Structure 1
Amino acid sequence: MLPYGLGRSYGDSCLNDGGILLDTSTLRRFISFDELTGTLRCEAGVTLGDVLELGIPRGWFLPTSPGTKYVTVGGAIANDVHGKNHHVSGTFGRHVTQFELLRSNGERLICSSSQNGDLFRATIGGLGLTGLILWAEIRLRKVDGPFIDMESIRFDNLAEFFEISDDSDEQYEFTMAFVDSLATGKSAGRGIFARGNHAWQKHIPGKSGMPTQRLNIPFMAPGFLLNKTTLTAFNTAVYWKQPIKRTRSLVPFDPFFYPLDSINNWNRMYGTRGFVQHQCVVPPEHGSEAMHELFDVIASSGEGALLAVLKKFGDVESPGMLTFPRPGVTLALDFPMKGERTLHLLARMDEVVMKYGGAIYPAKDARMSPATFDASFPNWREFAKHVDPRFSSSFWRRVTGGENVVVTSGEKAAT
């Protein structure tokens, strides 16, 4: 069996082929909220959007957030999600103080750093494999309003990206860049760098900052629509959409953090075959070299990504055993799925990442090999000792190769 939230993982980490999924949508109640400290206790099926609706009017915000608010609190813990402020706030799991975990034998355990600590660390980033989170307690952060003071900077190549990123770390909480994955030569890695901070109250106009009406893609796009020509044109248009080097604006939080949430069924842009995402991280000392090599591999493949995001992770440590973020540079790319040639490209990219001692993100993965997983998370066998013997997922069976691991109780982990 496997807990299931909103199913926003891009691969099979939230799937359990031939097994049972535990729908957490009924676990959607707030239990308590201390408006003085920002400590929130809620059931695991509460979404990040629900938390924002509760917190923002009271001056509280998520400590960190992924690129969609349509994620449950349980899912955010299970994947130990990260956001644009990793260099400041680390991962979501770092702000979890405790939770209650239901094991398959009926045991209900309170887990925190000081109580059932190993299970606490295994569950954060544990992909739902240690049991069912019933409720969790998290620390929100105090903010002055729902707006972001944002600066956008057009940069010409990877070297300039690293210069801007290094310059931004101390002054800006939120940093990331959209990059043109198809640009080559001296323009390789060019893009738009976005950085920002929560706006001071005196700068906030009389608006709520809450999301407005959403667009909708009503049908699947034809498969031929996304090809190298159209992808090149799209990436070029995004790059030149900002005609001047720098712009500064006050923007609501929603389009800054969750641009794709404003489009219903945005995945239909990719047609019936959909897309696959490749997200990696490489150590900081190899960041520039590895990114150049990855872009060269993409260029030589004839494939292209509609969306590519580049940013630096900081050194804020997470308590999670299988946490993906670590100090270094992370690149996420969405490729239209075109069968074997796309899978071949992703395998070649894995080779580059492994060459530089990097890792692949399980929450975004649909096809990495057991060898790649083992290299990305060399401590996974230690983690597996805490897997509930009746919990499993399609992802887990794929990347562990069906290997049995003895858990702490002496039982065998399900494979």
Structure 2
Amino acid sequence: MSTNKQFVAGWGNYPMVESIVLHPENEMDTKKAIQTACIIARGLGRSYGDQAINSKGYTAVCTRMNHMIAFDEGTGVLECEGGTSLEEIIRTFAPSGWFPMICPGTKFVTIAGAIANDIHGKAHHHDGSFVNSVISFNIMLAGGEVVTASRTENEDLFWGNFGGLGLLGIITSAKIRLRKISTTYFKQRSIVINNLDEMLVALDENDKIYNYSVAWIDPLAKGKKLGSGVLTVGNAATLDDLPAKYKDEQLKIHQPNKLGVPFFLPNFTLNELTASMLNRVIAFVQNSPKEFVHYEKFFFPLDAIHNWNRGYGRRGFIQYQFVIPETGGRDVLILILEKIAASGCSPFLNVFKKMGEGQGILSFPFKGYTLAIDFPVTSKLSAFIAQLDEIILKAGGRIYLGKDAMLHKEVFQAMYPQYKEWLQIKSKYDPSNVFTSDISRRLGLYN
């Protein structure tokens, strides 16, 4: 097991901290690691903030524990190690007609990380979050013992891990269900939206027809154009749906990406002017999709650009995602979009959609509207985000902890009053706080 001291950060490159980084290769290495000092597991580093970094202890990068253990071709049940990524699963099983049930905006996430953040995708209103694909998992606890957690065995540990940010143990393996598919393509359409009222109506109407829906909203639009953008909806394409030119490769998989950002761009390259120009380009691209599109572009468009996060410069960025109830949601969205457009914080990439019913204890989703939007880190961003937090809290909403980098402890506790139930589980399985991280200290998720 290799060990070295280095600077680490989440995908947003903010905050950046120094930590002792370990690379366990098996359960024996993992057991040795948790006997050293406080520790947090880390996968491929796609959490945006300080979820998988530990400035006061060890950060265990578990991506070498990525072996497939067993697969049942009759049921689609896969058993694999926690460091296995969705990318590896897709590459291995898609050619045989199997695909992950839940896909977020990147395939470069590990199964353990997907559980820790209870990831969701553009079909949450139809499929729910990642917990719905998980049968059970094995987790190494603070004492080094490995136990199984499921809906019928150690149920509190099972539910506590979905959205639990890796703070209850290190997931060594999991059994998950894959979805049977006949093609790796999707049939989609785009709808130009002129304002927020049109957007909300279009979401309601199309959610009844399409399993997948996601919108881009122009974050700089004001007045009558507030909430304008493009809604993209779609369903999995069957073999009968596909045009002849695709049928010879109906189970085609992705190719390694060739494009990348080789270094951090200067901070001045992303400002209000360039953000406005880039958002115009995004609007054009979103409004001109092909009718049939491969899963790579449908689910993971940004994966085509390696290290795209460097485009925000060394200052880094945050992805701010909230969910608010549908009741009263329109007025709250108007207020938030007006504040964003006037903030001068150069908002960039964003995703808007509806969510279905929530699950889990600290899991983020519940039935309502969710917006995720990128902001470059500037001197005025923290104060602006605090203003948005207060609006969202007052509306009965909450922030996605799997992406958060700035939430204050008191606001978190008000948004997630169920944190007290989670802390009881923490006390039961990790009374000495072996598993800690920078976000756990920031939000008070420890005994």
Question: For the superposition of Structure 1 and Structure 2, which TM-score range results when normalised by the shorter chain?
Answer: over 0.9
**Match among 40, 44, 55 for residue 2 of structure 1:** 40
Aligned residues of 1:2 and 1:393 also touching (Cα < 8 A): yes
The ranges of structure 1 where at least 4 consecutive aligned residues each deviate by more than 6 angstroms after the TM superposition are: none
Q: CA deviation at 1:236?
A: 2.5
After TM superposition, give the deviation of residue 79 of structure 1 in Å.
0.5
Cα shift at 1:26: 2.1
Partner of 1:393: 437
Instruction: Find the aligned partners of 1:2 and 1:241 in 2 and give their Cα distance.
Output: 39
* CA shift digits 1:231-286 (9 cap, x unpaired): 11221333245678xx6510000011011110011112111112111100001112
Q: What are the Cα deviations for residues 377-401 of structure 1, in whole angstroms up to 9, with x where unaligned?
A: 111121012222311111011011x
Cα shift readout 1:107-158 (whole Å, capped 9, x = no counterpart): 2211111111111111122110111111100111112110010111111111
Residue 233 in structure 1 maps to residue 273 in structure 2: no
1:321 and 2:361 equivalent? Answer: yes
Displacement, 1:363?
0.9
Deviation at 1:38, TM superposition (A): 0.8
Report the Cα offset of residue 227 of structure 1.
1.1
Note if contact 1:324-1:360 (Cα within 8 Å) is conserved in structure 2.
Answer: yes
Partner of 1:201: helix, strand, or coil?
Answer: coil
Task: Report what 2:106 is aligned to.
Answer: 68
**Native 8 Å contact 1:178 1:310 kept in 2:** yes
Equivalent positions of 1:188-199 (< 5 A) are 188-199=226-237
Decide whether aligned partners of structure 1 residues 243 and 357 sit closer, same or farther in structure 2, where only a CA change above 3 A counts: closer
1:308 is aligned to 2:350: yes
Which one of the candidate residues 288, 302, 305 is aligned to 1:260? Answer: 302
The question of whether the paired residues in 1 share the 8 Å contact of 2:212 and 2:235 is answered with yes
Give distance in 1, aligned partners of 2:386 and 2:252.
41
**Structure 1 residue corresponding to 2:387, chosen from 348, 351, 354:** 348
**1:211 lines up with 2:254 in the alignment:** yes
Equivalent runs, 1:137-216 vs 2, <5 Å: 137-204=175-242, 205=246, 206-207=248-249, 208-212=251-255, 213-216=257-260
What secondary structure sits across from 1:83 in the alignment?
A: coil
Partner of 2:329: 287
Tell me whether 1:298 sits opposite 2:350 in the alignment.
no
> Is the deviation greater in 298-307 or in 117-126?
298-307
Q: Is the 8 A contact 2:66 2:81 kept in 1?
A: yes
Q: Could you say which residue in structure 2 is the equivalent of 1:409?
A: none
Are the aligned partners of 2:191 and 2:287 in contact in 1 as well (CA < 8 Å)? Answer: no
Give the 3-state SS of the residue equivalent to 1:385 in structure 2.
helix
Q: CA deviation at 1:329?
A: 0.3
- The CA RMSD measured in Å over matched residues stands at 1.5
1:376 aligns with 2:419: no
What SS does the corresponding residue of 2:332 show, helix, strand or coil? Answer: helix
Q: Secondary structure at the match of 2:190?
A: strand
Q: CA deviation at 1:214?
A: 2.8
In 2, distance between residues paired with 1:202 and 1:332? 35
Q: Is the 8 A contact 1:35 1:58 kept in 2?
A: no
* Structure 1 residues 296-349: Cα deviation after superposition (integer angstroms, max 9, x where no partner): 11122122211111000012x42x21100100000001011112x111111111
**SS, match of residue 182 in structure 1:** coil
Q: Secondary structure of the equivalent of 1:233?
A: helix
Q: Partners of 1:357 and 1:314 in 2: how far apart?
A: 16
Match of 2:372 in 1: 332
The letter for the 1-side match of 2:382 is: L
Distance 1:241 1:40 in 2: 36
**SS in structure 1 at match of 2:328:** helix
Task: Describe the SS at the equivalent of 1:178.
Answer: strand
Match of 2:5 in 1: none
> Secondary structure in 2 aligned to 1:13?
coil
Assess if the C-alpha contact under 8 Å between 1:119 and 1:386 holds in 2. Answer: yes
Pairwise CA distance, 1:222: 1.8
Q: Which amino acid aligns with 1:230?
A: T
Structure 1 residues 242, 97: closer, same or farther in 2, change over 3 A? closer
What is the alpha-carbon distance in structure 1 between the residues aligned to residue 145 and residue 260 of structure 2?
A: 44
Change (3 A) 1:61 1:243: closer
Residue 96 of structure 1: how far off its partner (Å) = 0.7
- Hey, what's the Cα distance between the residues in 1 that align with 2:441 and 2:362? 16
Match of 2:69 among 24, 31, 34: 31
1:356-380 Cα offsets, whole Å, 9 max, x none, are 0100011111110012211221111
Secondary structure at the counterpart of residue 291 of structure 2: strand
The answer for unaligned runs of 5 or more in structure 2 is: 1-38
Amino acid at match of 2:111: V
Distance 1:239 1:23, change over 3 A: closer
Corresponding position of 2:20:
none
Counterpart-to-counterpart distance in 2, 1:243 and 1:374: 40
CA shift at 1:223, angstroms? Answer: 1.2
Identity of aligned residues (%): 39
Residue 278 of structure 1 contacts residue 364 of structure 1 at CA under 8 Å; is this kept in 2? yes
C-alpha distance in 2 between matches for 1:379 and 1:133? 23
Aligned to 1:152, the other structure's residue is in SS state strand
Number of matched residues?
398
1:236 match: secondary structure: helix
Distance 2:154 2:88 in 1: 28
